[in-house]
Amino acid sequence: MKTLTKFSAALFSLSLFTPQVSAQTLLNLGGQDHLCSFAPDEVFDEQIYSFSSSKQAEDLVADILSTVGLVPRFQIYAGNVPNAAAVIDGDQRLIVYSEDWIQNEIANNRWAAVALLSHEIAHHLNGHTLEAGGSRPPTELEADKFAGFAVGKLGGSLQDAQWLFKQLSASGSDTHPPRGARLEAVAVGWRDATGGQVIRSTPKDEPSTPTTSSVAGDWFVIAGSYPHASVAQAEILLHRLQAQGLPVRLVNTDSYAKLSNGLYSVVVATNSRSSAFHALEGVKQYVSDAYVKKGN
Ligand SMILES: [Zn+2]
Protein backbone atom coordinates (compact mmCIF):
# COMPACT_ATOMS: atom_id res chain seq x y z
CA MET A 1 0.00 0.00 0.00
CA LYS A 2 1.16 3.49 -0.73
CA THR A 3 -0.40 6.77 0.21
CA LEU A 4 -1.52 9.33 -2.27
CA THR A 5 -0.16 12.28 -0.38
CA LYS A 6 -1.32 15.01 -2.71
CA PHE A 7 -4.30 14.31 -4.84
CA SER A 8 -6.36 16.88 -6.63
CA ALA A 9 -9.18 17.95 -4.35
CA ALA A 10 -11.37 18.41 -7.39
CA LEU A 11 -11.05 14.74 -8.16
CA PHE A 12 -12.62 13.83 -4.87
CA SER A 13 -15.86 15.57 -5.71
CA LEU A 14 -16.40 13.22 -8.61
CA SER A 15 -18.38 10.06 -8.10
CA LEU A 16 -18.12 6.71 -9.76
CA PHE A 17 -21.14 6.68 -11.98
CA THR A 18 -21.44 10.31 -12.96
CA PRO A 19 -19.80 11.96 -15.95
CA GLN A 20 -16.28 12.97 -15.15
CA VAL A 21 -13.82 15.48 -16.45
CA SER A 22 -11.81 14.01 -19.26
CA ALA A 23 -8.55 15.79 -18.48
CA GLN A 24 -5.90 13.67 -16.90
CA THR A 25 -4.73 14.47 -13.39
CA LEU A 26 -1.30 13.81 -11.99
CA LEU A 27 -1.37 11.74 -8.83
CA ASN A 28 1.50 12.40 -6.50
CA LEU A 29 2.63 9.10 -5.05
CA GLY A 30 5.71 10.55 -3.45
CA GLY A 31 6.38 8.92 -0.13
CA GLN A 32 3.95 6.24 -1.12
CA ASP A 33 3.19 3.51 1.29
CA HIS A 34 -0.47 2.72 0.97
CA LEU A 35 -1.17 1.03 -2.30
CA CYS A 36 -2.42 -2.56 -2.66
CA SER A 37 -1.23 -4.11 -5.87
CA PHE A 38 -2.07 -7.46 -7.41
CA ALA A 39 1.24 -9.18 -7.99
CA PRO A 40 4.62 -9.15 -6.27
CA ASP A 41 7.39 -7.11 -7.85
CA GLU A 42 5.13 -4.77 -9.76
CA VAL A 43 6.92 -1.57 -10.63
CA PHE A 44 4.90 1.61 -10.48
CA ASP A 45 5.87 4.71 -12.42
CA GLU A 46 7.02 7.69 -10.40
CA GLN A 47 4.33 9.82 -11.99
CA ILE A 48 0.89 8.31 -12.25
CA TYR A 49 -1.77 10.15 -14.19
CA SER A 50 -5.42 9.39 -13.61
CA PHE A 51 -8.03 9.53 -16.34
CA SER A 52 -11.77 9.20 -16.19
CA SER A 53 -12.79 5.56 -16.13
CA SER A 54 -14.36 3.75 -19.06
CA LYS A 55 -17.92 2.49 -19.20
CA GLN A 56 -16.58 -1.05 -19.48
CA ALA A 57 -14.59 -0.76 -16.27
CA GLU A 58 -17.51 0.82 -14.43
CA ASP A 59 -19.78 -1.96 -15.67
CA LEU A 60 -17.35 -4.57 -14.39
CA VAL A 61 -17.25 -2.88 -10.99
CA ALA A 62 -21.05 -2.72 -10.88
CA ASP A 63 -21.27 -6.43 -11.74
CA ILE A 64 -18.78 -7.29 -9.02
CA LEU A 65 -20.51 -5.21 -6.36
CA SER A 66 -23.86 -6.75 -7.31
CA THR A 67 -22.56 -10.08 -6.00
CA VAL A 68 -22.50 -8.69 -2.47
CA GLY A 69 -25.31 -6.16 -2.80
CA LEU A 70 -23.12 -3.19 -2.01
CA VAL A 71 -22.90 0.26 -3.49
CA PRO A 72 -19.44 1.59 -4.32
CA ARG A 73 -17.71 3.48 -1.55
CA PHE A 74 -14.76 4.22 -3.74
CA GLN A 75 -13.98 5.95 -6.99
CA ILE A 76 -12.42 4.36 -10.02
CA TYR A 77 -9.93 5.90 -12.43
CA ALA A 78 -7.83 4.73 -15.31
CA GLY A 79 -4.12 5.36 -14.86
CA ASN A 80 -0.64 4.22 -15.84
CA VAL A 81 -0.36 1.36 -13.38
CA PRO A 82 0.73 -2.22 -14.24
CA ASN A 83 -2.83 -3.62 -13.99
CA ALA A 84 -4.81 -2.26 -11.04
CA ALA A 85 -4.27 -1.02 -7.50
CA ALA A 86 -6.35 -0.04 -4.51
CA VAL A 87 -5.14 3.21 -3.01
CA ILE A 88 -6.35 5.52 -0.29
CA ASP A 89 -5.86 9.10 0.71
CA GLY A 90 -7.43 10.19 3.95
CA ASP A 91 -10.89 8.70 3.84
CA GLN A 92 -11.01 8.57 0.05
CA ARG A 93 -10.79 5.12 -1.48
CA LEU A 94 -9.69 4.81 -5.09
CA ILE A 95 -9.21 2.01 -7.59
CA VAL A 96 -6.71 2.93 -10.27
CA TYR A 97 -6.55 0.50 -13.17
CA SER A 98 -4.83 0.29 -16.53
CA GLU A 99 -7.32 0.92 -19.32
CA ASP A 100 -4.87 -0.75 -21.71
CA TRP A 101 -4.78 -3.89 -19.59
CA ILE A 102 -8.54 -4.00 -18.98
CA GLN A 103 -9.49 -3.47 -22.62
CA ASN A 104 -7.18 -6.26 -23.73
CA GLU A 105 -8.46 -8.60 -21.04
CA ILE A 106 -12.12 -7.84 -21.80
CA ALA A 107 -11.44 -8.81 -25.40
CA ASN A 108 -9.42 -11.92 -24.57
CA ASN A 109 -10.60 -13.19 -21.21
CA ARG A 110 -13.20 -11.10 -19.41
CA TRP A 111 -12.94 -13.25 -16.29
CA ALA A 112 -9.35 -12.14 -15.81
CA ALA A 113 -10.55 -8.55 -15.64
CA VAL A 114 -13.34 -9.54 -13.24
CA ALA A 115 -10.84 -11.36 -11.01
CA LEU A 116 -8.37 -8.50 -10.98
CA LEU A 117 -10.89 -5.78 -10.17
CA SER A 118 -12.56 -8.02 -7.59
CA HIS A 119 -9.21 -8.49 -5.87
CA GLU A 120 -8.62 -4.73 -5.66
CA ILE A 121 -12.20 -3.98 -4.63
CA ALA A 122 -11.84 -6.53 -1.83
CA HIS A 123 -8.93 -4.57 -0.39
CA HIS A 124 -11.30 -1.64 0.08
CA LEU A 125 -14.31 -3.69 1.20
CA ASN A 126 -12.19 -5.49 3.80
CA GLY A 127 -10.61 -2.29 5.02
CA HIS A 128 -7.09 -3.38 4.09
CA THR A 129 -6.29 -0.02 2.58
CA LEU A 130 -7.17 1.66 5.88
CA GLU A 131 -4.60 -0.37 7.78
CA ALA A 132 -0.98 0.58 8.02
CA GLY A 133 1.62 -1.80 6.68
CA GLY A 134 0.84 -2.23 3.02
CA SER A 135 0.24 -5.44 1.10
CA ARG A 136 0.97 -8.58 3.06
CA PRO A 137 0.18 -12.22 2.45
CA PRO A 138 -2.89 -12.59 4.73
CA THR A 139 -4.70 -9.60 3.25
CA GLU A 140 -3.72 -10.64 -0.27
CA LEU A 141 -5.30 -14.05 0.33
CA GLU A 142 -8.49 -12.41 1.59
CA ALA A 143 -8.63 -10.36 -1.59
CA ASP A 144 -7.95 -13.45 -3.70
CA LYS A 145 -10.74 -15.31 -1.97
CA PHE A 146 -13.19 -12.57 -2.90
CA ALA A 147 -11.98 -12.67 -6.50
CA GLY A 148 -12.94 -16.35 -6.60
CA PHE A 149 -16.25 -15.55 -4.94
CA ALA A 150 -17.15 -12.79 -7.40
CA VAL A 151 -16.27 -14.85 -10.48
CA GLY A 152 -18.33 -17.73 -9.09
CA LYS A 153 -21.34 -15.53 -8.37
CA LEU A 154 -21.17 -14.06 -11.85
CA GLY A 155 -21.27 -17.51 -13.45
CA GLY A 156 -17.60 -18.26 -14.08
CA SER A 157 -16.01 -21.64 -13.59
CA LEU A 158 -13.19 -22.34 -11.14
CA GLN A 159 -10.83 -22.35 -14.13
CA ASP A 160 -12.15 -18.91 -15.10
CA ALA A 161 -11.52 -17.66 -11.57
CA GLN A 162 -8.00 -19.07 -11.35
CA TRP A 163 -6.70 -18.23 -14.81
CA LEU A 164 -5.18 -14.88 -13.89
CA PHE A 165 -3.50 -16.33 -10.81
CA LYS A 166 -1.93 -19.09 -12.85
CA GLN A 167 -0.02 -16.40 -14.75
CA LEU A 168 1.83 -15.42 -11.56
CA SER A 169 5.23 -16.79 -10.64
CA ALA A 170 5.19 -19.72 -8.22
CA SER A 171 7.12 -18.03 -5.45
CA GLY A 172 5.73 -15.26 -3.33
CA SER A 173 7.39 -12.29 -1.73
CA ASP A 174 7.29 -10.32 1.52
CA THR A 175 4.09 -8.73 0.33
CA HIS A 176 2.40 -11.49 -1.68
CA PRO A 177 1.89 -15.20 -0.91
CA PRO A 178 3.10 -17.98 -3.23
CA ARG A 179 0.93 -18.91 -6.18
CA GLY A 180 -0.26 -22.18 -4.68
CA ALA A 181 -1.76 -20.41 -1.68
CA ARG A 182 -3.46 -17.86 -3.90
CA LEU A 183 -5.00 -20.57 -6.11
CA GLU A 184 -6.28 -22.22 -2.96
CA ALA A 185 -7.83 -18.97 -1.69
CA VAL A 186 -9.54 -18.43 -5.04
CA ALA A 187 -10.91 -21.96 -4.97
CA VAL A 188 -12.33 -21.48 -1.47
CA GLY A 189 -14.02 -18.24 -2.48
CA TRP A 190 -15.39 -19.79 -5.64
CA ARG A 191 -16.76 -22.75 -3.67
CA ASP A 192 -18.40 -20.41 -1.14
CA ALA A 193 -20.17 -18.64 -4.00
CA THR A 194 -21.25 -21.67 -5.97
CA GLY A 195 -21.44 -24.65 -3.62
CA GLY A 196 -19.00 -26.27 -6.02
CA GLN A 197 -21.06 -26.01 -9.19
CA VAL A 198 -20.94 -23.42 -11.93
CA ILE A 199 -23.89 -21.07 -11.53
CA ARG A 200 -25.68 -20.75 -14.80
CA SER A 201 -29.33 -20.77 -15.66
CA THR A 202 -28.48 -22.43 -18.94
CA PRO A 203 -30.69 -20.92 -21.62
CA LYS A 204 -31.15 -24.20 -23.43
CA ASP A 205 -32.82 -25.55 -20.29
CA GLU A 206 -35.27 -22.68 -20.14
CA PRO A 207 -38.57 -23.38 -21.85
CA SER A 208 -39.57 -19.80 -22.52
CA THR A 209 -37.53 -18.43 -25.38
CA PRO A 210 -38.76 -16.08 -28.08
CA THR A 211 -39.26 -19.05 -30.39
CA THR A 212 -42.30 -19.94 -28.35
CA SER A 213 -43.51 -16.37 -27.95
CA SER A 214 -45.58 -15.06 -30.84
CA VAL A 215 -46.15 -11.85 -28.87
CA ALA A 216 -42.53 -10.85 -28.75
CA GLY A 217 -41.87 -11.16 -32.47
CA ASP A 218 -38.56 -11.64 -34.18
CA TRP A 219 -37.50 -8.09 -34.92
CA PHE A 220 -34.54 -8.02 -32.57
CA VAL A 221 -32.46 -5.28 -31.08
CA ILE A 222 -29.21 -7.17 -30.57
CA ALA A 223 -27.15 -5.90 -27.66
CA GLY A 224 -24.49 -8.59 -27.79
CA SER A 225 -23.77 -12.12 -29.02
CA TYR A 226 -21.56 -14.80 -27.54
CA PRO A 227 -20.55 -18.30 -28.63
CA HIS A 228 -22.50 -21.05 -26.89
CA ALA A 229 -19.41 -21.90 -24.83
CA SER A 230 -19.45 -18.37 -23.39
CA VAL A 231 -23.04 -18.37 -22.17
CA ALA A 232 -21.94 -17.04 -18.79
CA GLN A 233 -20.70 -13.86 -20.40
CA ALA A 234 -23.98 -13.49 -22.28
CA GLU A 235 -25.76 -13.78 -18.95
CA ILE A 236 -23.62 -11.08 -17.39
CA LEU A 237 -24.70 -8.67 -20.12
CA LEU A 238 -28.30 -9.91 -19.81
CA HIS A 239 -28.40 -9.24 -16.08
CA ARG A 240 -26.68 -5.91 -16.42
CA LEU A 241 -29.24 -4.66 -18.94
CA GLN A 242 -32.13 -6.13 -16.96
CA ALA A 243 -30.87 -4.16 -13.97
CA GLN A 244 -31.27 -1.05 -16.12
CA GLY A 245 -34.91 -1.96 -16.72
CA LEU A 246 -34.51 -3.10 -20.31
CA PRO A 247 -36.81 -5.99 -21.39
CA VAL A 248 -33.92 -8.07 -22.66
CA ARG A 249 -33.87 -11.81 -23.07
CA LEU A 250 -31.41 -14.42 -24.24
CA VAL A 251 -32.08 -16.17 -27.53
CA ASN A 252 -30.33 -19.11 -29.13
CA THR A 253 -29.52 -18.00 -32.65
CA ASP A 254 -29.81 -21.60 -33.87
CA SER A 255 -33.56 -21.09 -33.72
CA TYR A 256 -33.53 -18.26 -36.27
CA ALA A 257 -32.86 -18.67 -39.96
CA LYS A 258 -31.41 -15.20 -40.52
CA LEU A 259 -29.09 -15.14 -37.53
CA SER A 260 -25.58 -16.63 -37.50
CA ASN A 261 -25.80 -19.95 -35.70
CA GLY A 262 -23.88 -21.05 -32.61
CA LEU A 263 -24.52 -17.94 -30.52
CA TYR A 264 -26.53 -16.71 -27.60
CA SER A 265 -27.71 -13.18 -28.28
CA VAL A 266 -28.95 -10.68 -25.72
CA VAL A 267 -31.92 -9.04 -27.42
CA VAL A 268 -35.01 -6.93 -27.05
CA ALA A 269 -37.62 -8.71 -29.16
CA THR A 270 -40.31 -6.65 -30.90
CA ASN A 271 -43.09 -7.17 -33.44
CA SER A 272 -42.10 -4.73 -36.12
CA ARG A 273 -39.24 -2.92 -37.72
CA SER A 274 -40.42 0.43 -36.39
CA SER A 275 -40.79 -0.96 -32.85
CA ALA A 276 -37.32 -2.41 -33.06
CA PHE A 277 -35.74 0.88 -34.09
CA HIS A 278 -37.66 2.63 -31.35
CA ALA A 279 -36.32 0.14 -28.78
CA LEU A 280 -32.85 0.50 -30.26
CA GLU A 281 -32.59 4.03 -28.89
CA GLY A 282 -33.04 2.76 -25.35
CA VAL A 283 -30.55 -0.06 -25.72
CA LYS A 284 -27.94 2.24 -27.25
CA GLN A 285 -27.79 4.19 -24.01
CA TYR A 286 -26.00 1.17 -22.56
CA VAL A 287 -24.59 -0.62 -25.60
CA SER A 288 -23.47 1.89 -28.18
CA ASP A 289 -23.06 -0.65 -30.96
CA ALA A 290 -26.44 -2.36 -30.56
CA TYR A 291 -28.24 -2.96 -33.85
CA VAL A 292 -31.51 -4.23 -35.32
CA LYS A 293 -31.85 -7.55 -37.12
CA LYS A 294 -34.78 -9.70 -38.13
CA GLY A 295 -34.60 -13.30 -36.98
CA ASN A 296 -36.64 -15.07 -39.68
ZN1 LIG B 1 -3.70 -7.19 -3.47
Ligand 1 center to residue 12 CA distance, Å? 23
Ligand 1 center to residue 4 CA distance, Å? 17
Ligand 1 center to residue 30 CA distance, Å? 20
Ligand 1 center to residue 117 CA distance, Å? 10
- pTM for this structure? 0.62
Strand partners, 268: 221
Ligand 1 center to residue 49 CA distance, Å? 20
Which one, of 121, 161, 136, 120, lies nearest residue 40 by Cα? 136
Parallel, antiparallel, or unpaired: how do β-strands 47-52 and 25-28 relate?
A: antiparallel
Ligand 1 center to residue 90 CA distance, Å? 19
In this predicted structure, what is the pLDDT of residue 135?
Answer: 81
Ligand 1 center to residue 142 CA distance, Å? 9
pLDDT tens across the length of the chain (296 residues)? 444 433 333 333 334 444 344 457 776 554 456 788 898 878 888 788 889 999 999 999 999 999 998 888 899 999 999 999 998 766 678 899 999 999 988 888 899 999 999 999 999 898 888 777 678 899 999 999 999 999 999 999 999 999 999 999 999 998 899 999 999 999 999 999 999 888 764 444 444 333 333 347 889 999 999 888 777 778 778 877 877 778 888 888 888 888 888 888 899 888 888 888 888 988 998 888 899 999 98
Domains and CATH numbers, the chain: 9-194 (no CATH), 203-294 (3.30.70)
Between CA 198 and CA 131 the distance in angstroms is: 34
